[in-house]
Chain A
Amino acid sequence: MRVLVAMSGGVDSAVAAARLVRAGHDVVGATLKLWGGESDSGCCSVADVDDARRVADRLGVDHHTFAYSDEFDRHVVGPYVDAHRAGVTPNPCVECNRHLKFGALLERADRLGFDTVATGHHARIVAGPDGVRRVARGADVAKDQSYVLAGLTSERLDRVRFPIGDSPKDDVRREAAALGLRVAAKADSQDVCFITRADGRARFLARRLPLTAGVVVDGGGRPVGRVPAVETVTIGQRRGLGLAGGAEPRYVVATDPATATVTVGTEADLRVARQPLADLGWAAGPVDGPLDWQVSAHGAVRRGAWDGGAVAWERPERRVAPGQVVVAYSGDVVVGWGTAAPVQDVRTDQAIEPHPLGA
């Protein structure tokens, strides 16, 4: 099989490539140059390209660098900034996987004569008795990345491999060390690859959109605090709201950049019985009954059932920030994915655009 391995310069994709070589496949490595700016934590600095190339050299495979910065800007960075502007939560890793790694790169791999694209994601692909391929959790639950891969259809998954999805991270590192790969002890990449630790989200956004100082109000509309930038406030947030201490903890339950207002409430206010979704897609048709729902990349799952317009939780759960990707699991297997909509008991003028690749 002819395999194009997306090599980020990290240990996971390095071992993914090594395993494919060992299995006798015709392997070519490619590093996606996604971001032209400075990055100390992500996947596309010059040092990372060097690491990927040197690993490929060590494995005896060709390595290429593909420039995708225009596509990355269009599909990931632009929407990230726009989401903040609109006061909704962006999903940059999900967008990058859908549009870049398993979008543009997969299409390119077809044109270049590859049978499949492989990555170093901690996830597995399982085929059900119905013949439909679905993403499933990686063997290393702490490193599982199935959430950010949700939305890949069976047709696409047919042309994708995750060679390290069945291994704990420690095994991956041990294997890299045994192979003498220079990235064996390299630190894991961080969440948003185009924002440096030194810069931070607020300064990154401040260069790209006007940030609005906002007023924090309680459920009765009374001002209780101030925030420097309403665009960077997230549902469920507890700190940085300028609230007087002492009282019962209060959390953000709604944000509205249009009126520069952040509404706070108690833990009880934060919890809802039903979480509406703006869209919901199923891997192979709707699944009735209770499922596990994951509402952030590394969060715990909640139990609930889709009732046609919302997820009805088994017990009240914290509301999910509008725009956030929500993934439904049956056991370890991804069976559906959608995008959180605003909870309507809180007055808001926000209209949530359906996810472009969502349901």
Chain B
Amino acid sequence: MSVQETANATGKAPVAASLSEAYVRFGAFTAIESLSLEIEEGAFYTILGPSGCGKSTMLRLVSDLIPAASGEVRIFGKSTEEARRAREFAFVFQDATLLPWRTALQNVQLPLEMGKKRGVTIPISDKTPMELLELVGLKGRENALPHELSGGMRQRVAIARALVCKPKLLLMDEPFGALDEMTRDHLNLQLLRIWEETGVTILFVTHSIPEAVFLGQKVLMLQAHPGRLREIVPIDLPYPREIKLRDTPEFTRHTAHLRELLETC
């Protein structure tokens, strides 16, 4: 029984990340205002909102890249800095951010080599870097350099790299935003499979309404100027989800509702 099923059965799951009254300010500009929410462990949240609503800022706040001006962010009960040092979370950027001189395999191994001197205890995934590349469908390409791979393949290497320290929380900032639709569909399915296999909690920022509905158990709708939470919309579509789900009336009902909501944000 996977984590998310347990969660559904008991109705109450342990909390992966919690924000309470969190504010983010850049000088006089308030990027995030009074954000409070709890992400239960094993959940898949997608984050939607107009530009300038602080979607990316929220992920950066959770991942300790930017500090909260006030309020509190806890990840598995720890501060964001403690969680970072314990490698509780991993980040996937919009751009794959691979080191161009390293092969696909060496890029996946990077997190195992970094942070040792700071005394970070590096949790090792039960899967080897090689097996992770296989998990994302890149078996046989482990010795390719990034420039020899397509955009979609590079992003899959980035996902394998994110999984190498067995994170409990995966933060994804529009990871498939720059890809064509076919590749994006394929990677969406792959990501759902990985989520189901590993039980990792996922926070996934996107600007695509269909993608948000297709992937998420819940959609966090943020509002702009200043960035704040508008609504949490549950997506009651069963998993495993397939591409043809997009053509069903229930799916369209969800996207229509979100589009309406987005217009008033």
A binds B: no
List the interface of chain B (C-beta within 8 A of A). Answer: none
List the interface of chain A (C-beta within 8 A of B). Answer: none
